[in-house]
Amino acid sequence: MKKRTIGSSNLLVSELGLGCMSLPTELEAARSVLDEAVDHGINYFDTADLYDKGTNEELIGKVLKEKRQDLIIATKAGNKWVSGEESWTWDPSKAHIMDAVKQSLRRLQLDYIDLYQLHGGTMEDDTDETIEAFETLKTEGVIREYGISSIRPTVIERFLSTSNAVSVMMQYNLLDRRPEEYFSMIAKKGASVVTRGTLAKGLLTNEGVERAKKLNGFVSYTPSELQQTIQVLSKETDNLHAYALAFALKEPVVASALIGSRTQEQLRESLNAYDTKIDPQLLSALTNKTERHQYEQHRV
Predicted local distance difference test score (pLDDT) of residue 80: 86
pLDDT at 81 over 80: no
CATH topology of domain 3-203+240-288: TIM Barrel (3.20.20)
Q: What pLDDT is attached to residue 53?
A: 86
Tens digit of each residue's pLDDT (9 = 90 or more) over 137-162: 999 999 999 999 999 999 999 999 99
Q: Please tell me the predicted confidence (pLDDT) of residue 83.
A: 74
Q: Which amino acid is at 195?
A: T
This prediction has a pTM of: 0.95
Residue 115 pLDDT level (bands cut at 50, 70, 90): very high
Question: Which pLDDT does position 16 carry in this prediction?
Answer: 98
Map out the domains of the chain as residue ranges. Answer: 3-203+240-288
Looking at residue 87, its pLDDT comes to: 82
51 counts as catalytic: yes
% of the chain with per-residue pLDDT over 70:
100
Side chain identity at residue 261, one-letter code: S
Q: What is the pLDDT of residues 222-270, one digit of tens each?
A: 999 999 999 999 999 999 999 999 999 999 999 999 999 999 999 999 9
At residue 24, the pLDDT reads: 95
Asked if residue 281 has pLDDT above 90, the reply is yes
Is the confidence at residue 85, as pLDDT, over 80?
no
- Residue 163 confidence class, pLDDT cut points 50, 70, 90: very high
pLDDT of residue 169: 98
Give the pLDDT score at 82: 77
Reported as a single tens digit per residue, the pLDDT across 29-48 is 999 999 999 999 999 999 99
* pLDDT reading at 186 higher than 90: yes
So what's the pLDDT on residue 66? Answer: 86
What's the chain look like in SS3? CCEEECCCCCCEEECEEEEHHHCCCCHHHHHHHHHHHHHCCCCEEECCCCHHHHHHHHHHHHHHHHHHHHCEEEEEECEEECCCCCCEEECCCHHHHHHHHHHHHHHHCCCCEEEEEEECCCCCCCHHHHHHHHHHHHHCCCEEEEEEECCCHHHHHHHHHCCCCCEEEEECECCECHHHHHHHHHHHCCCEEEEECCCCCCCCCCCHHHHHHHCCCECCECHHHHHHHHHHHHHHCCCHHHHHHHHHHCCCCEEEEEECCCCHHHHHHHHHHHHCCCCHHHHHHHHHCCCCCCCCCCCC
Q: What percentage of residues in the chain have a pLDDT greater than 90?
A: 93
State the sign of the Cα–Cα–Cα–Cα dihedral 215, 221, 226, 230.
negative
Is pLDDT at 196 greater than 80 in this prediction? yes
The mean predicted confidence, pLDDT, of the chain is: 96
Q: What is the mean pLDDT of residues 123-137?
A: 97
Catalytic annotation, pick one of 44, 51, 116, 172: 51
pLDDT score of 170 more than 90 = yes
Q: How confident is the model at residue 5 (pLDDT cuts 50, 70, 90)?
A: very high
